[in-house]
Amino acid sequence: MTAADLVPDEASTSDVRLRFDHLSMVFPDGTHAIDDISFTVSPGEFTTVVGPSGCGKSTLLRIASGLETGYTGLCDVNRDSIGYVFQDATLLPWRTVLRNVELNAELHGVPKAERRRRSNEAIELVNLVGHEHKYPKQLSGGMKMRCSLARSLVLNPGVFLFDEPFGALDEITREFLNDELLRLFALEQFAALFITHSIAEAVFLSTRVLVMSNRPGRIIGDYRIPFGAERPHDLRFEPEFAELCGQINEDLKDAHV
């Protein structure tokens, strides 16, 4: 398969929230991070990019969010409506859960009463009720991540960027958080771009999985995931699920050559 086969078929859709068109990035030190990447993400689409570590997946997100500039090609996204979930929960340790969840809204100048109301709702959505007044060091890794999710939810973003958010968690916690993320996605119908190196996680969460090659990162595989919106926890043990994972794994093996 070549990149040319993968020209996005939905590029003409009008409600596309995030569009990459022939996007390439070479860092000032000569590192060729990503090469000629084109795809779009629309509301209700959950697109995941899997690839070996160091393949430029994170660069893709950093470009989308505006943290990285100096790329060539097109990156079209409304930056006022982005939720970014980092690899690390990035909670401010001197703030309680509630005040951390409020942070984004606070920095955007949302009035106090309003942001408190929204924050409490977000805390309810991620099942952190009762922990509002704890500090991050009192939370487990999974709870920190949920707090981080809530912080992004408060601004009701149209596009969610996830940079390997559950990579540092144990598998059980990760699977529970995957379930929760799907539930949130079903509620909010945002456009999601998710980065991971776990194939199972990618298949479980996504409506579409893109496979990225070693550096410079190219799209070398494109999979529509046929499962519906409701995905039970046990879906991970269905033969169809395993087969998809196997195919993607084959692609990744090629990517490593």
Partner 1 sequence: MTTIDDRIDAEVALPAAGADPDDASAPTRVTPPKSPGDGFFGRVLPPTIMLALFVGIWYLYSTVSFEQAFQRRNALPYPHEVVQDGFLPLWEDGSGTREILGFMWPTIKVTLLGLGISIVVGVLVAVIMNMSKYFERAIFPYAVIAQTVPILAITPLLTQVFGDRLGVRLAVVFLIAVFPIITNTLFGLQSTDRLHHDLFTLNKTSRWTRLWKLELPSALPALMTGIRIASGLSVIGAIVADFFFNQGDKGIGFFIRVTQQRAANRPDMLAGTITASLFGVVMFLIVGAITSRAIRDWHDSAN
DSSP H helices in the chain? 57-65, 97-107, 112-125, 141-153, 171-188, 199-205, 239-256
Q: CB under 8 Å to 17, separation ≥6 — which residues?
A: 41, 42, 43, 77, 78, 158, 159, 190, 191
The nearest distance, CB 130 to partner 1, in angstroms, is 8
Contact by Cβ (8 Å): 70, 25: yes
Select 93 or 226, whichever has its Cβ closest to partner 1: 93
Select 9 or 114, whichever has its Cβ closest to partner 1: 114
Select 3 or 43, whichever has its Cβ closest to partner 1: 43
The tokens for 224 are: 């529509």
Taking the chain, what is the end-to-end CA distance rounded to the nearest angstrom?
A: 15
The nearest distance, CB 118 to partner 1, in angstroms, is 8
In the DSSP assignment, the letter for residue 213 is P
- Chain positions contacting partner 1, by CB under 8 A: 65-67, 82, 84, 86-88, 90, 92-95, 103-104, 107-108, 121, 124-125, 127, 131, 134-143, 156, 172-173, 176, 179-180, 183, 186-188, 230, 232
The tokens for 247 are: 């195919």
The nearest distance, CB 172 to partner 1, in angstroms, is 7
Select 36 or 176, whichever has its Cβ closest to partner 1: 176
The nearest distance, CB 190 to partner 1, in angstroms, is 9
The nearest distance, CB 180 to partner 1, in angstroms, is 5
172-to-50, 111, 175 alpha-carbon distances in Å: 20, 38, 5
Select 10 or 179, whichever has its Cβ closest to partner 1: 179
